[in-house]
Structure 1
């Protein structure tokens, strides 16, 4: 099973929030989400936690694509503009450092017009065990 298939099947929180991985390779990963009414905050724009969840899924796909279980240990998000109901968001994570223990990535979340919504940097801790459910790697 690929990391894309595995995370789309097992990351229930991301799936329940409408997030899905559509691309993964050793250098980048892409996750998408359409902003729905349930993503909106009191200001009638997409809630920051929904944006973070989308970016975090892309980070997880990229950091875990090599088959070793990797958890996020530090992430920072910078909100640049608002996302609105109906926007189709794309989170593209790119590898900054694929260190064997402490990988780091950058994520750009954009809308359907390629407008930057937020920027996320992430760092992970890579364990020496295989991803549960994908032990053959």
Structure 2
């Protein structure tokens, strides 16, 4: 999957995957780039991401973590389609509206058909979710 560069707004210069309708339109949009520390994914917490208690809904954090698996592993996946086949997470704290939500991590192992990734999501630098997952490469959709 080829990422599209963002041309305006807070995330100008970042990339996103607009052909992913759930992650881009419904839950996100979420963004990715590589900086001096490596791959990073991010978005700004909005009211639509919150639960009735005023903190980010756990499903939103897990959706962003799933996006982040691919953002962290994307350099080894250009032009390849993949699916998440395993996912684990632990909630550490709550994120609130207005905070910058970021994910960083590492590829633990990348093979020909499967990749193992782990990472951590922060809210304004405060850890809120620890995650790991496995991506299985698939033949491109036709």
Q: Same fold (TM over 0.5)?
A: yes
Go from structure 1 to structure 2 and tell me whether the alpha carbon gap of 1:88 and 1:7 turns closer, same or farther (over 3 Å shift): closer
CA 1:117–1:92 in structure 2 vs 1: closer, same or farther (change >3 Å)?
Answer: same
Match of 2:133 in 1: 122
After TM superposition, give the deviation of residue 109 of structure 1 in Å: 0.4
- 1:101 lines up with 2:110 in the alignment: no
Asked if structure 1 preserves the Cα contact closer than 8 Å seen for 2:88 and 2:131, the reply is yes
Please give the alpha-carbon distance, in whole angstroms, between the structure 2 residues aligned to 1:125 and 1:106: 15
**Residue in structure 2 matched with residue 4 of structure 1 by the alignment:** 3
Larger relative contact order (Cα-Cα within 8 Å, sequence gap ≥ 6):
1
Deviation at 1:82, TM superposition (A): 0.6
Structure 1 22/7 Cα, relative in aligned 2: closer, same or farther at 3 Å?
closer
Instruction: Give the structure 2 partner of residue 53 of structure 1.
Output: 63
Out of 5-14 and 46-55, give the one that drifted further: 5-14
Residue correspondence of structure 1 range 87-98 to structure 2 within 5 A: 87-98=99-110
CA contact (8 A) 1:4 1:21 kept: no
Normalising by the residue count of structure 1, what TM-score does the alignment of the two structures yield? 0.80
* 1:38 equivalenced with 2:37 (yes/no): no
User: What is the count of residue pairs matched by the alignment?
Assistant: 128
Distance 2:62 2:134 in 1: 14
RMSD of Structure 2 on Structure 1 (CA)? 2.5
Q: 1:77 is matched with which residue? A: 89
Structure 1 residues 45-90: Cα deviation after superposition (integer angstroms, max 9, x where no partner): 1001111111111212344542321110010110001101111100
Q: Which runs of 5+ in 1 are unaligned?
A: none
Number of the residue aligned with 2:98: 86
